[in-house]
Chains A and B, each alone.
Chain A
Amino acid sequence: MVHLDLTDVSIEFPTPKGPYVALDGVNLKIQQGEFISLIGHSGCGKSTVLNIVAGLYQATRGGVVLDGKEVNEPGPERAVVFQNHSLLPWLSVYQNVELAVKQVFKGKKTKAEMREWILHNLNLVHMSHALDKRPDEISGGMKQRVGIARALAMEPTVLLMDEPFGALDALTRAHLQDSLMDIQNDLNNTVIMITHDVDEAVLLSDRIVMMTNGPAATVGEVLDIKLERPRNRIELADDAEYNHYRHEVLSFLYEKQRKPDEASTEKPAQNLHTDSTDPKDPVKKSASNSEAA
């Protein structure tokens, strides 16, 4: 049975110039325990898909079914890790997770059990040393760890991550990706993650969902990543299969879905790791241009 089913998900936003069709007919079937990455250029509606699954937006057409139940509103069974951590700045690390745990396990766990569960989740993300620190007293990577702990502590059926590591430096990001893979090994959650980072997508995912550019964005291609787990980033660096997947994603993003304004505006995918194909290389660019045309 399909665990999470997105059927013909479409959404329009009203604007002064008439409705703007952000998503048009997104179809996706996700199995229990699958790790899915959504990748695409900025503004292609990746976050909108995530927000619809989270229940924060309502699809104009189509809908999302989770374990046979339609998704109409947000809820802790679809916990979200937000891009900018979204911790409550006036609460300590422990209290931030506590707020979620108290809300989700009210009447189901005793006080002692709740405490143990909070500590367990903070331990998972290696944050037990900073329980009483406030968010502004810890680094960006640590904040994101706490955000993940908070989401995991809700015991979600689906974990939604909106560019969870986007704001972090490369070293911290790699570290957190490894942590996330370990956690995913243990818990076997269903995860949908939005990313800009090709390496991140290939390293972490079971499937990469590549989205076309908006308006009326939709699923362009889906790439199955059949790399064996556990995955090791160093070993994979020279792996032919790994590089093949990378190449697939890169060619989708820079050849098939090259942004038309990329040449004029200086915002071409700063977040993308592109050592093999350089989008700024004018020779290649003109080549892909003619290809696309």
Chain B
Amino acid sequence: MSAILLKMSWLEPFVKIAQGERPGDQLMVILRSIGVPLIGLVIFLFIWQVGAKNINTSLGTFPGPAAVYEQTVNLFAEHNAEREKEKAFYERQEVRNEKKLAKNPDAEVKIRPYTGAPTFIDQIWTSLGTVMTGFLVASLVAIPLGIMIGLNSTLYTAINPLIQLFKPVSPLAWLPLVTMVVSAVYVTDDPMFAKSFVTSVITVSLCSIWPTLLNTAVGVSSISKDLQNVSQVLRLNWITHVIKIVIPSAIPSIFTGLRLSLGIAWMVLIAAEMLAQNPGLGKFVWDEFQNGSSQSLGRIMVAVIAIGFIGFLLDRLMLMIQRKVSWDKSVALR
């Protein structure tokens, strides 16, 4: 048990105190690991509060920490209220349908979906869905392609300039093109996905594909000569060579790429959602901006913090997976 706790570094001093290991020293460690960031946070909040008071916009003063906290509470309350309304809506339908069936057992019964506006929390989930789809699409292309160009230096030389060319392109530049292409190509009577969703996913994929592609290629091409010799002496065929030697040896750098890609995907998504008018956090920010009430800036600030926090959580998640999968324990993953 304590071994598991010791793996979480910030808990370490607490565990050691519990184990009776020199409490004085451990307290210092706690002070350093928790106290110092706390002091940083307090100073930041103070500067924010003071600075915000002095910025007057057409939508009122810039929101300080207190205003943002208030809006956070509001947004959660709105979310809960909306859920209540939805529940009541479905209950009403059920009651109505039961009455209908009691009168005439053959009557057709319909359940209409609830069409209330999505709340802030709903938008977060939508955004996470979109970013994961885009990230998945990008990874499914980038990893196999990266392995191929990593194995073949001619292919690498051919593709590398293109990668370098497209890597720095901003999502805002891609978006109009993607939008037009999607509206021209994605034409069905019964679309499975909304066009705005497809546009956002493609834009996210286009921007987040590069780190995974490059890191996979580098990982594959830098496989050690010795391991290649082992593979040759064993006369492994091509497929076995790739599966047993190449991919495992590239796993650490593939994951480095995936982590970078997910970070970029999340950053790009907000911009894509804003412009594509795809439901999600980006649209929430845009709508609040257009709405222009005295609360808008506070609500946008809540979104900013939520975006940052979720980005941080996504990165931690990838790090956890990376630590689990990567055999290379010699590199410190942080």
Contact = CB atoms under 8 A, between A and B. Distances in A.
Interface of A: 54-56, 73-76, 78-80, 82, 84, 86, 88-91, 99-100, 103-104, 134, 136, 154
A74 B327 contact: no
A80 B233 contact: yes
Interface residues of B, number: 20
9 smallest beta-carbon distances between A and B, as pairs? A90-B327, A86-B226, A74-B232, A90-B248, A74-B233, A103-B234, A86-B230, A80-B233, A89-B327
21 contacts: A54-B229, A56-B229, A56-B233, A73-B232, A76-B233, A78-B233, A80-B233, A86-B230, A88-B227, A88-B244, A89-B249, A89-B328, A90-B248, A90-B251, A90-B327, A103-B234, A103-B235, A103-B236, A104-B234, A134-B327, A136-B329
Contacts of A84: 226
B245 interface: yes
A89 B251 CA distance: 12
Contacts of B240: 103
Interface in B298-334: 327-330
Contacts of B236: 103
Contact of A136 (B230, B232, B330): B330
Contacts of B230: 82, 86, 88
Contacts of A73: 232, 235
A139 B91 CA distance: 68
Given A99-B244, A134-B327, A136-B329, A86 B234 contact: no
Contacts of A56: 229, 232-233
A155 to B, nearest CB: 13
A104 B233 CA distance: 10
Nearest to A137: B329
Given A89-B328, A90-B249, A136-B330, A54 B233 contact: yes
Contacts of B229: 54, 56, 74, 80, 82, 86
Nearest to A136: B329
A88 B245 contact: yes
A100 B230 CA distance: 9
Given A75-B235, A86-B224, A86-B226, 7 more contacts: A79-B233, A80-B233, A82-B230, A86-B227, A103-B235, A104-B234, A154-B234
A90 B250 CA distance: 11
A90 B229 CA distance: 17
Nearest to A104: B234
A54 B234 CA distance: 11
Of the listed residues A75, A100, A103, the one surrounded by the most CB atoms of chain B closer than 10 A to its CB is A103
A76 B233 CA distance: 5
A239 B293 CA distance: 100
A189 to B, nearest CB: 16
A75 B233 contact: yes
B268 to A, nearest CB: 33
Interface in B186-241: 224, 226-227, 229-230, 232-236, 240
Given A84-B226, A88-B245, A76 B329 contact: no
A76 B231 CA distance: 10
A158 B248 CA distance: 29
Contacts of A82: 226, 229-230
A99 B330 contact: no
Given A86-B226, A134-B327, A99 B233 contact: no
Contacts of A90: 248-249, 251, 327
Given A82-B226, A82-B229, A88 B248 contact: yes
Interface string B240-264: 1000110011010000000000000
Contacts of A136: 329-330
Contacts of A75: 233, 235
Contacts of A134: 327
A55 to B, nearest CB: 8
B232 to A, nearest CB: 4
Contact of A74 (B227, B235, B248, B249): B235
A182 to B, nearest CB: 24
Contacts of B251: 90
A154 B330 CA distance: 30
A89 to B, nearest CB: 6
A76 B245 contact: no
A54 B235 CA distance: 12
A136 B230 CA distance: 18
A73 B240 CA distance: 18
A99 B235 CA distance: 11
Contacts of B232: 55-56, 73-74
Nearest to A79: B233
B112 to A, nearest CB: 54
A136 B240 CA distance: 24
Of the listed residues A73, A76, A86, A91, the one surrounded by the most CB atoms of chain B closer than 10 A to its CB is A86
